[in-house]
Amino acid sequence: MDGTGVPDAASAAAPPPEPASGQRFTPARLRRARWSVAVVFLVHGSVAGSFATRVPWIQDHAGIGAGQLGLALAFPAIGAFLAMPLAGRISHHLGARTALRLLLALWTLSLALPALSPNLYGLCGALLVYGATSGTADVAMNALGVETENRLGKPIMSGLHGMWSVGALLGSAAGTAAAHAATDARVHLAVAALVSTTLGALACRGVLDLRSAADEHPPPRFALPPKSALIIGAIGFCAVFAEGASLDWSAVYLRDVLGTDPGLAAASTTALTCTMAVARLAGDAVVARFGPVRTVRAGGALATAGGLLIVLARHPAMAVTGFALIGLGIAVVVPLAFAAAGRSGPAPSQAIAGVATITYTSSLIAPSAIGSIAQATSLTGSFVLVTALACGLVLGAGVLRVPGRDAAGRDAVPAGDLKP
């Protein structure tokens, strides 16, 4: 890689990870690997959904107030930030399949820990482990998703992240039912951990068994993200900031700015999450037809229009529509950023870890940044910033271009989709 952060000729020609001895990547094998890694994403999402529904029980069990809970909930992001750079080294030593099996199992089993915490200190420690295992599993599964996509020769990353959203919905639905039935969260989360661990282990059996070349040096234990990952991560930062701000503040915006009742205010969050899930599941077909650059530019334009609707809204319907457009516009950006990072150099896991670290940082600071700006100006002023970042997707989408597919430098369109 040269000093600009763009892969040089030697880096671009570096061979991808090799399959385990005797393994052939036949079309049937690749299809199986695609659906196996999709189930891995679903399992990962279900753990997050299960945990989110039992936070009130965990707060009561630990005997902490709202401020202390806010402090504790920062620890998953801290754990992920610290641990994600290790994922590439683990994959190098163990192979992609074994590493994913181990890291995913650690993540699913960690779901049981927060409910066992008797106080603030125990909860912070449990959530630190929870976040660290989540982040490393996240990097490993995204790296395998990128490698599977490269070998299939067609986009699948948006659909994989759509499966994560489906898993989160399933986990939250089961958690809601458990909470409604007044089930002890220690029992609920322990059962959910065992079920998700079993399903994850079965899914990992079908993913590609990729291994580093014998003469390849292991990645460093800790390293700054490569420059290419920083540039790609900036696009992910914009999208995740808009997502985090909208998820956490949409209902508050409708209630405080537009005077909406709580039931209708909650509809803004529902609109955002639903459009994101649908767009991710349908995103692969759109990316295959139009390429990542044009897809993200169009998405950025939709998200910018959504932000303008929110800022200018004088009626709740306008704001709800605006939040729905933000969800639709940003849905595929992070999957495409991970895919671009995996193509940006000879160490996909390290680049993906760099992008993941940047996006996790964005999700950590977005809610508090919106609150700080709202305190200094107004909540409407905060969403002016969200709108500006959405516009940044339009301006910066070119960094997601697939290299080598279009000699003229235009956004790549698969040959089968070209029209005479």
- Provide the H-helix boundaries in 313-378: 316-330, 333-342, 348-376
Q: What does the DSSP assignment read for 60-75?
A: HHHT--HHHHHHHTTH
Q: Which residues pair with 218 in a beta bridge?
A: none
Q: Which DSSP state fits 115?
A: G
- Type of residue numbered 370: I
Cβ distance 52 to 172 under 8 Å? yes
Asked whether the beta carbons of 39 and 95 are under 8 A apart, the reply is no
The verdict on 243 and 151 lying in the same domain is no
Better pLDDT: 342 or 192: 192
Q: What is the pLDDT of residue 415?
A: 35
Check whether residue 162 and residue 241 sit in a common domain: no
CA distance 148 to 335: 14
> If you average pLDDT over residues 4-13, what whole number do you get?
31
Q: Could you tell me if 155 and 189 lie in one domain?
A: yes
pLDDT at residue 321, as a whole number: 93
Residue 158 placed within a domain: yes
Pairwise pLDDT comparison (415 vs 353), residue with the higher score: 353
- Give residue 12's pLDDT band: very low, low, confident or very high (50, 70, 90): very low
Contact of 159 with 281, CB cutoff 8 Å: yes
Same domain, 173 and 319: no
Looking at the structure, do residues 127 and 70 belong to the same domain, yes or no?
A: yes
Residues 181 and 83 in one domain: yes
pLDDT one-digit tens code per residue, 238-284: 999 998 888 778 878 888 889 888 767 767 777 887 888 889 899 99
| β pairing state of 210-211 and 18-19 | antiparallel
Helix H or strand E encompassing 245: helix 227-256
Q: What is the pLDDT of residue 221?
A: 55
* 229, 192: one domain: no
List the structure tokens of 125: 């420690």
Tell me the backbone φ, ψ of residue 217, rounded to 5 degrees: -75, 140
- CB-based burial, 75-90: b 16+ in 10 Å, e otherwise: bbbbbbbebbbbbbbb
Residue 197: give the domain boundaries.
27-211
Residue 303 makes CB contacts below 8 A (sequence gap 6+) with 242, 325, 326, 328, 329, 330, 390, 393
Do 175 and 240 sit in the same domain of this protein? Answer: no
Quote the tokens at residue 413: 């369109």
Do 179 and 245 sit in the same domain of this protein?
no
Lowest mean pLDDT among 19-28, 150-159, 395-404: 19-28
Residues 246 and 49: their CA atoms lie apart, in Å, by 18
Task: Please indicate, yes or no, whether residues 172 and 243 belong to a single structural domain of this protein.
Answer: no
Residue 19 placed within a domain: no
pTM of the model: 0.74
pLDDT in tens, 225-239: 667 778 898 999 999
CA dihedral 164, 99, 338, 270 (to 10 degrees): 20
Q: What is the pLDDT of residue 16?
A: 45
The burial of 11, by beta-carbon neighbours within 10 Å (0-12 exposed, 13-18 middle, 19 or more buried), is given as: middle
Structural tokens at position 418: 């070209």
> Does residue 4 belong to any structural domain of this protein?
no
Which class for 74: exposed (0-12), middle (13-18), buried (19 or more C-beta within 10 A)?
middle
What's the first-to-final CA gap in the chain, in angstroms? Answer: 38
CATH code of the domain containing 311: 1.20.1250.20
Residues 40 and 170 in one domain: yes
Confidence band for 193, pLDDT divided at 50, 70 and 90 = very high
CA distance 129 to 123: 10
Residue 70 included in any domain = yes
Instruction: Kindly report which listed range (108-122, 125-139, 201-215, 311-325) carries the lowest average pLDDT score.
Output: 201-215
Residue 242 corresponds to which tokens in the numbers above?
């808009």
Is 415 within a domain?
A: no
Domain count, the chain: 2
Residue-averaged pLDDT of the chain: 82
Of 269, 41, 245, which is closest to residue 145 (Cα–Cα)?
A: 41
Contact call for residues 111 and 196 (beta carbons, < 8 A): yes
Q: How far apart are CA 303 and CA 308, in angstroms?
A: 9
DSSP summary character for residue 343? T
Please choose, from the candidates 362, 332, 337, 331, the residue with its C-alpha nearest in 3D space to the C-alpha of residue 352.
337
Distance, in Å, from the CA atom of 38 to the CA atom of 42, rounded to the nearest integer, reads: 6
Last residue of a domain, one of 189, 211, 233: 211
Residues 6+ apart with CB under 8 A from 241: 362, 363, 365, 366, 369, 386, 389
If pLDDT is split at 50, 70 and 90, which confidence band does 304 have? very high
Q: Is residue 142 part of a domain?
A: yes
Strand partners, 49: none
Helix (H, G, I), strand (E, B) or coil at 19: strand
Q: What confidence tens digit (pLDDT) does each residue in 336-382 have?
A: 998 888 777 666 667 777 788 788 778 777 877 887 888 888 889 98
- pLDDT for residue 55: 84
Torsion of Cα atoms, 72 then 76 then 78 then 82, to 10°: 150
Torsion sign (Cα): 364, 370, 371, 375:
positive
| Domain shared by 186 and 98, yes or no | yes
* Residues contacting residue 98 through CB under 8 Å, at least 6 positions apart: none
Q: Are 79 and 128 a contacting pair, CB within 8 Å?
A: yes
